[in-house]
Amino acid sequence: MPGPAPETEDNEAPAELVKTLPFDTKSSPALDLSALLAGVPTGRYRLEAQAAAPDTAAHARLDFVLYDAQAATIPYATPDWFAVLADTVAPGQPARVLLGSRDADARILLEVERGGQLLRQEWLTLKAGEQRRLEVESGPATAAGPLYIHTTQVRDGRLYRHDATVQVAEKPQPLRLSIATFRDKLQPGQKETWRITIHQANGRPAEAELLATLYDQSLDIFRPHSLPNLDFGDGYYPARLEWQGNFGEVNSATIGSANDDEKASVLAYPELNTWQAFAGNRRPGGRRVLGRSTRQLSEVVVADKAAMRTAAPAPAPMAEMKAANDSGGVGYFQAPNSKSKPAAPDLTAVPTRTDFRETAFWEPALHTDKNGDVVLEFQLPEAVTRWQLLALAHDKSLRTGQLARQLVTQKQIQITPNAPRFLRPGDAFTFPAKFSNLTDHATRGTAQLFLLDAATGQDITSRLLKDNAQKAVSAAAHQSQALGWELSLPADFAPIAVT
């Protein structure tokens, strides 16, 4: 093929070391190359990074071109030099490109289009080694779509083609969200009032709509939750003058062979027996795990009371310990310095937590007032967990903004049971629990276990419990204590679920 050989790693001059620079990723993952490139002439360079540790072979390499946009000559000897100085310009502002060639009288076709309309078509003639800086108008401010810049050059039987895309858009001006009276540690069931303020980028109050939700963050284990950015776009305008031509060799291809008549061997793989499940005809004979039956049950389900909302009213289940100065107490304790021994407390009337909603609130269409404020009034569920707040705002100009916060609901003194999910008649086991003291002082008190038939609400503690239902508990400040109750299920035990 006529003309000089194309530039490859095989025919270029041997590389020489220009500068070295030590770095440490512990201090910063970013590498500042300003000192390394200071005083280095324009040209093609290769940046190589090698880990200093002797037990690792970590290595990275990056090829780049160092050029001067104000220079009159191209950065290195090449038949085709092209660079775009910015990938985004504001509406009505021009884009700037650099063109050049080492060859004399290089003829380059420049074509510019936007929104399917040809804005500029021009033949350029360049001197040897000249770097020409061009300003390309982006079209009317009301035009849609990006700006496409194409260059075409044919020399010595080779095609040199460049297609650049320059976005024409205003600099993003997101809304700014802030929240007042927000606390990251709250009590279960606490009533809260939050104020979210939304401002424009210039600081003025925004007239916006807000979507806000507060949910149990443990749900992210199953599927992470987030609010996507609102990308409205401005339509799709593909480049119409883009051409993927090339000058190359013509190769032959085989379209037949002498062994076409031979049959390929067929492999028979074993199939999964679906029992006609996908045809809608499931095989009969499946055994019910839960439900009432005239036969004796072989399993007992220990259920959470929060899931048994239809059960008949019943005495309070396992009581939680509660400080005396905490309103709505759910237990009993005695200050550590008290010498008197209290009588066995009556914990049957202690209220229990029943609101275990996974979503505290979901407000999809809240509107700001004249000050850019949105007030959220709600009552937290009674679960002891970590919560995630997500908020997304947008205004009539399609500007958007987001806010995310986390908080924890916890009780100063509480008991956390760890009940097994399934039991069988005749089982004997220890029902474990943990007494937690998050206060700044030592605490002691009494915990009591209640066991109810989930279907009828009947107290069956005496039938299953082998020892005393009340247990003395104590823990130092910010400590916990393990405790348990010995249970035994009779062989003729009938209830299907216990709470």
| Backbone angles phi and psi of 284, in degrees to 5 | -75, 175
Task: Give residue-wise pLDDT tens across range 156-206.
Answer: 888 899 999 999 888 778 999 999 888 888 989 999 999 999 999 989 999
**CATH number, position 212:** 2.20.130.20
Strands (E), 200-277: 208-216
Of the residues 148, 168, 188, the one at which a domain ends: 168
* 258 compared with 417, residue with greater pLDDT: 417
Exposed / middle / buried, residue 473 (Cβ in 10 Å: 0-12, 13-18, 19+): buried
Strands (E), 90-220: 95-101, 106-114, 117-126, 130-136, 147-155, 158-168, 176-180, 185-186, 191-199, 208-216
Contact between 149 and 97 (Cβ < 8 Å):
yes
Of the residues 146, 168, 190, the one at which a domain ends: 168
- Is the confidence at residue 323, as pLDDT, over 70? no
**CATH number, position 141:** 2.60.40.2950
CA separation for the pair 486, 499 (Å, rounded): 16
CA separation for the pair 212, 194 (Å, rounded): 11
Is there a domain that residue 430 lies in? yes
Is there a domain that residue 4 lies in? no
Residues 482 and 450 both lie in one domain: yes
- Mean pLDDT computed over 303-317: 38
* 305 compared with 51, residue with greater pLDDT: 51
Question: Where in the sequence is the domain holding 110, given as residue range(s)?
Answer: 81-168
Tokens 């005495």, located at residue: 315
Contact between 53 and 26 (Cβ < 8 Å):
no
Mean model confidence pLDDT for the chain: 79
CB atoms within 10 A of CB 380: 20
Is there a domain that residue 274 lies in? no
Is there a domain that residue 109 lies in? yes
State the Cα angle at 470 between 466 and 475, rounded to 5°.
120
pLDDT at residue number 99: 95
Domain count of the chain? 2
* Pairing of β 208-216 and β 386-395: antiparallel
- Is the confidence at residue 331, as pLDDT, over 70? no
CA 126 to chain centre: 51
Residues 365 and 386 both lie in one domain: yes
Of the residues 150, 168, 186, the one at which a domain ends: 168
- Mean pLDDT computed over 135-141: 88
Is there a domain that residue 443 lies in? yes
Residues 186 and 304 both lie in one domain: yes
List of residues 6+ apart from 120 with CB closer than 8 A? 110, 111, 112, 136, 137
For residue 219, the 8-state DSSP code is G
* 253 compared with 473, residue with greater pLDDT: 473
pLDDT at residue number 25: 82
CB atoms within 10 A of CB 347: 21
Exposed / middle / buried, residue 254 (Cβ in 10 Å: 0-12, 13-18, 19+): exposed
Residues 459 and 363 both lie in one domain: yes
pLDDT at residue number 339: 53
pLDDT at residue number 283: 43
Contact between 152 and 109 (Cβ < 8 Å):
yes
Tokens in use for 140?
A: 């009317």
Greatest mean pLDDT among 27-36, 150-159, 285-294 lies in 150-159
